[in-house]
Structure 1
């Protein structure tokens, strides 16, 4: 039986890749589809098509309101096809179907949100100190955007880039990860159906050393929006040294969750489970470092261990499954290696710590909790991108803050306490771009998202994200009919 074949989407047409590769089903480890691998020539064609679209009246001649209607149409199509997209994402990445369906349905709201913002990108009038001058500012599209996303939550991570970029009037080349690109290649069909002009949105996949490098260093790319890991981000930044593209980076982290003794432990434990075991821990905001006030440390650890053992591992296409496989075998091997080093350095496995029995194929790993951990322990220091929770006790607010901030990352954080004044003190002191209080892993198109330090540069989401895809043009209009004064003196 032949495997399904996917294509890249370039300049309004679906095209084969220069090369192809097989994508694996993480639940079985077996090939299930053939994917296109774009080479340098195809990337160049996509970027040039995007650049041409910027001056094509079919796109450049649209009003902002018309751009917004296209985005709204795209959102509607995503909502209508959420089931199909969810099935593809689950098949290609192993994320459970109950989450992909819910998340992709919500992704539609991101496009609707930015569709509504398209005609609200405003300039400004400046009351300058020259009586014969009228000065105003225009916001214009920054240009061709290279949007690069990883395999996890890829439709969401694409929406926070494409939504504001298209609302601002930019054109986009979207690179899907070579690990699990199926849903984004299918998403291109919805872009086509929505009626975006040729070249405005191009969707392709390929490998970093060819496709990714060519895209981020291309001289016609003006803006790079990247989500991934710090090591790849460094390559991206080096690549943009030639084109000087404005770059934003969202890079994940080792997010701290802090639980004080007065917290509702049952509620906190559910949020902690959501933060580290949902999506098999493969989330940039995974709450992988848990800091618990010593007086309730053992009690919360027991609650969490019980909940972790009860998580239903299984086929990600089964709606009863609560945790599926990891997306790739190399990720599974990485986690196993880090756990081994952590135990060797003194960490204790409370539960999990191995491949689950009964799963002879696929990239499955048990929900794992480690105690006896310090911030220097490999499992706490390194981003595992898997279902591994490191639990560390603390004594009082100062100790909690010191330990929570003892990381080069700073994307998200969680805080659990019934004490309102303490909550506000901690919010000010925790070094992270997102602080969830008495909850975890909540998102909205209205709320900006991003981190500090190695967690990246810039913010995605929210109304101000649209401005990051514009350039400001200052316009000086002389209103006097008198001759221009002395030309040798700056006005």
Structure 2
């Protein structure tokens, strides 16, 4: 039996300084080596700048349309979306929107490249039609007036296709092979990349598998008699072969994906091809290596040296991955190929880490650290020859020169470049070193699939700091391009970018971090152990105050708590700071409660706990800012005026069952930080979660009994009593029911302020410029996560008629891949609804929709309180008359000229909580934002999961009263304003001890009072 290495594990986001401290000392080569590197790199850079390519490439496009300019950004968006827009109206609107953002009319190019000149001419001509202007002789002005919109559309589309023809080797593998045939005496190697986004549906995965299988057979037949490594290759993306290629679905992925990858690998072996598994995001690294290890273990691949994978040097775990791959090669006695790249998803990795509030990033935040790590990884790979065949993918002349020097020869490795890029560099390299091999990574696919790929390449290579962008800029001196990465870093403390060194730790979004095997195991084990210790186990705070006194004690508690300074309110045993620490130290217990009592999946339960901690942290900070000092107001000489904020008294906080920890604790914490006391009433469906309350939050918990297996509701008399109580001066309500609001309005006594958020018929609008895969991801997340039991969940999707069939099909296919079942199972995507009554209401609505609407999808559901995702197409939006609080999506088609009708339909619902917009047309987005009265609008992303302190949450109309939870104006609603005016000059000359006015402006009210009393 081979000595199989254990599954890959490595720190997900280690400290940059620690890595730099290890890499910096080993990065310096001898002076003769550095001199040779300098000469080689200089020669390559000069070749890049001297090359006069009549056709042009990415470097020429970046020189002409830099991404730091409006024209460059507009061109990027046009390239990404225009060719997938089927209708003329939307295409014209899109073109006008983008070409109006830059100065394409006066964009004079001096490039000799045909691609650049043709694109600039077509775009400039189109811009002139949109913004007509006369040239001195009047010819252009007259011409464009005769051309009109159809010609503009044709010219712009042709410019996009021209770019596509240059950056894609062929739309089919046959075309690519024909174009890739070597010219006389030319030695070429290709790795073909079949374009396309990751699979969202099972049909997508089958289509991608068939495309890969067909391409392997076609490439193999045309490969000739060369042997590896001269043989051509193919790159395979694992996320294209499975619709749920994610860590939480690992068991399913290993059963379904490994046989598919093995099948393709066996086909690759039959033709002795280079078969490379492409790199994925950091979250998928462990899963990717699990799939690769399982595939390599199959004895049918023995004796084949063509299997390989890509490793990203911008990931901090790159070196550990190389060690793991080497261990696999040793264990199976195989030779493996490893493509070393720098990475193409940097922006995504940074954003995800910030959203999750991680302690660090999985990727480097300075490009110099990526370059430094690339060289270190290259050195390690070269040392592992011949068991590992390194493939160095780079367009950086300094990196190429450094690898050449470290290789000490020309055998046992190759370089790689992207098709359409790096041609001048590698042509010069081939002249200087005829025995050096390089391979072209060539995309193959339709123009529609190409453009998302092209945008990634532009983003990857078009940043101001990238070598490709700087090499194309003649203003950058050559010595600046030859600065060594170690010289840019200098010391370990400078390894991280100062602006990106700390993710948003103070406002964590609560997204689960289950990409790591260690985290998944910990969260599976701890709640299980917690359940074994007893179903009625309660946190320490719960045992401390199982039941509070009656309502009469609230006033005394409020006065005592109000006298505490804001810092003290945040640090008492029931204050915000203590609450945060209790939540974080006992997160496993609360997760177990949320899963057992609230039916939340592991991901949602962890999000609830983290959001609760965010509320505690945020409101403590806001309270210190708002209540920590008084505001001095202007006034006449001899008088002081100060404005202060003070608590109102007693608040009633009613917990919502869908967020029984986060929202409940958020409202309680806000009231306490404002100096109030709280009567806290838990939700009937989730009483146990709410029992760990603050000593300052007093109140009876009616009907606290365990929820049965069938999740029946206790009755609601407690909430009604709290609403009607005559001594209750204040009221705070979330997810409120109309009867509560009517009871509140009918009570005698002082006017009671109401803070409420009550859900809505939330809509999303997707037009033809939107990326279907992105729409599918965001719709499925927004409509079906948490079993649709979020106030912000998507209920009504408006899709432009021209693209509706494809988008609805993709959304339905993605929904079909969701796992419904036990929420304690980490692989579950959709758990149960809250109780039997909720299920009965949803079942009744489904039954009605089946007779009134077109059913696109109805998933299977287990027995119990489970409701599977459903998708219905309505004839008109008015068929949905009320909020349906569950995993049911309603779709309406619309014509682009009827967008105003869509907005009126949204307005007529009376709700105004959340709205989603998917479009690449800025004018349309701005018009929608300006038109609708909605609390939270999300553009080109999902519409759930508002982050405390980042996306204050709340609606208007039937969706709430405001102010927004988790926002800067929230705490003020829990307080009253008090103005204190003091006459500091009492009519005697002696009062003016400090000049007219008696007291310096910065003194507190208490100081002014004391001085006034002490004066004779």
Regarding TM over 0.5, the answer is yes
RMSD (Å) for aligned C-alpha atoms:
2.6
Change in Cα spacing, 1:117 to 1:203, as seen in structure 2 (3 Å) is farther
Q: Is the 8 A contact 1:110 1:445 kept in 2?
A: yes
* 1:374 corresponding residue in structure 2: 876
CA contact (8 A) 1:10 1:46 kept: no
Q: Is the 8 A contact 1:95 1:279 kept in 2?
A: yes
- In the alignment, structure 1 residue 307 sits paired with structure 2 residue 814: yes
**CA shift in 2, pair 1:466/1:456, >3 Å:** same
Aligned counterpart, 1:111: 616
Among 451, 457, 463, which residue is 2:955 paired with? 451
Aligned-pair CA distance for 1:133? 3.0
Q: Secondary structure, in 3 states, of the residue corresponding to 1:464?
A: coil
Q: Is the 8 A contact 1:217 1:242 kept in 2?
A: no
Deviations 1:73-108 (A, max 9, x none): 210110121221111111112121221023312321
Instruction: Report what 2:835 is aligned to.
Output: 328
Aligned residues of 2:672 and 2:696 also touching (Cα < 8 A) = no
2:924 is the counterpart of 1:419: no
Establish whether residue 284 from structure 1 lines up as the match of residue 791 from structure 2: yes
TM-score, L = length of structure 1: 0.83
In 2 relative to 1, CA 99–209 (structure 1 residues): closer, same or farther, beyond 3 Å?
Answer: closer
1:400 aligns with 2:902: yes
| Alpha-carbon separation, structure 1, partners of 2:666 and 2:875 | 35
1:218 aligns with 2:725: yes
Counterpart of 1:486 in structure 2 is none
Task: Report the Cα offset of residue 212 of structure 1.
Answer: 1.2
CA 1:449–1:55: 2 relative to 1, 3 Å: same
Conserved? CA contact 1:410–1:453, under 8 Å:
yes
Q: Which moved more, 1:252-261 or 1:436-445?
A: 436-445
Partner residue of 1:141 out of 631, 643, 647: 647
Aligned to 2:891: 391
Partner of residue 936, structure 2:
434
Matched, 1:465 2:965: no
Q: Is the 8 A contact 1:89 1:182 kept in 2?
A: no
Question: What SS does structure 2 have at the residue aligned with 1:376?
Answer: helix
Q: 2:583 aligns with which of 62, 78, 84?
A: 78
Relative to structure 1, is the Cα distance of residues 46 and 444 closer, same or farther in structure 2, using a 3 angstrom cutoff? Answer: farther
Determine if the alignment matches structure 1 residue 62 to structure 2 residue 560.
no
Alpha-carbon distance, 1:449 to partner:
1.7
- When residues 89 and 243 of structure 1 are mapped into structure 2, their CA distance, relative to the original with a 3 A threshold, is farther
Could you tell me whether the CA contact under 8 Å between 2:630 and 2:642 is conserved in 1?
Answer: yes
Relative to structure 1, the CA distance from residue 367 to residue 10 in structure 2 (aligned partners, 3 Å threshold; closer, same or farther) is: closer
Q: Aligned to 2:803, what secondary structure does the other structure show?
A: helix
In 2, Cα distance between equivalents of 1:222 and 1:254: 32
Match of 1:164 in 2: 670
* Contact in 2 for aligned 1:11/1:200 (Cα 8 Å): no
Give the gaps of 5 or more residues in structure 1: 16-41, 192-197, 484-491
How far apart, in 2, do the equivalents of 1:239 and 1:83 lie?
A: 43
Task: Give deviations 1:4-39, integer Å, cap 9, x for gaps.
Answer: 4989x9996314xxxxxxxxxxxxxxxxxxxxxxxx
From the superposition, tell whether residues 239 and 83 of structure 1 become closer, same or farther in structure 2 (CA, over 3 Å). farther
Alignment of 1:178-327 (within 5 A): 178-185=684-691, 187-188=692-693, 191=694, 198-202=695-699, 204-206=701-703, 210-238=717-745, 240-327=747-834
Give 1:384 shift.
1.4
Match for residue 154 of structure 1 among 648, 660, 665: 660
Secondary structure of the structure 2 residue equivalent to 1:204? coil
Following superposition, the deviation at residue 117 of structure 1 comes to: 2.0
How many corresponding residue pairs? Answer: 436
* 2-structure distance, mates of 1:243, 1:330: 36
Q: Which runs of 5+ in 2 are unaligned?
A: 1-533, 704-713, 989-1016
My pick for the range that moved more, 88-97 or 204-213, is 204-213
Structure 1 residue 224: Cα displacement:
1.3
How far the C-alpha of 1:482 sits from its partner, in A, is: 2.9
Superposition deviation, residue 205 in structure 1: 4.2
Q: Does the aligned pair in 2 maintain the 1:175–1:212 contact within 8 Å? A: yes
Number of the residue aligned with 1:13: 545
Q: CA deviation at 1:201?
A: 4.7
Paired residue secondary structure (1:125)? strand
Displacement of 1:372 in angstroms is: 3.1
Give secondary structure in 2 for the equivalent of 1:369.
Answer: strand
Deviation at 1:278, TM superposition (A): 0.2
Report Cα offsets for 1:116-168 as digits up to 9, x if no partner.
2222114322224x544322211111111101122101212113312221111
Distance 1:233 1:252, change over 3 A: farther
CA distance in 2, matches of 1:241, 1:228: 24
- Tell me, in whole angstroms, the C-alpha distance in 2 between the residues paired with 1:307 and 1:393: 19
CA displacement, residues 158-182 of structure 1 (integer Å, 9 cap, x when unaligned):
1331222111111111111111222
More strand by share: 1
Are the counterparts in 2 of residues 143 and 221 from structure 1 also a CA contact under 8 Å?
A: no
Inter-CA distance 239–411: structure 2 relative to 1 (3 Å threshold)? same
- Quickly say closer, same or farther: Cα 1:208–1:161, change in 2 above 3 A: farther
Task: Write 1 or 2 for the structure with the bigger share of helix.
Answer: 2
SS of aligned partner of 2:878:
coil
Task: Report the alpha carbon displacement of residue 48 of structure 1 after superposing the two structures with TM.
Answer: 2.4
